[in-house]
Amino acid sequence: MARFTVETRDGDRIEVTGRDGATLLKAMRKAGVEEVVAQCGGGCACATCHVYVTPPEGVVLPQIGPGEARMLATSRHRTLSSRLSCQLKLEPALERMHVVIAPDDGGDF
């Protein structure tokens, strides 16, 4: 199980616990975080589950795959910490990571 903090667009912080191997998106949804749209249902076909991830110190996130990179390229709000929450799988090393929900791109997808 990985425990982490999600920060909403309003600045509220929600503590979330997710099973190892589950996606960040599923863990957030299960915890009641509804701000992440995930229009495609978590199929890496949009970027409406875009988040900013700060991993724990010394932890490197798995590399972004080509599909995720293509989807993030469509976001006006992409940063070096951008990830699609449907593509990042939880693992023990991600315990205490910090996730911020990215600004809404206004349905440009």
Q: Which pLDDT does position 104 carry in this prediction?
A: 87
Domain boundaries, the chain: 2-101
Superfamily of domain 2-101: Beta-grasp domain (3.10.20.30)
- Work out the pLDDT band at 108, boundaries 50, 70, 90: very low
Question: Tokens standing for 60?
Answer: 């490197």
Phi, psi of 2 (to 5 degrees): -115, 130
Q: Give ∠ CA 91-67-17 in degrees, rounded to 5.
A: 25
> 9-63, pLDDT tens digit by residue?
999 999 999 999 999 999 999 999 989 989 999 999 999 999 999 999 999 999 9
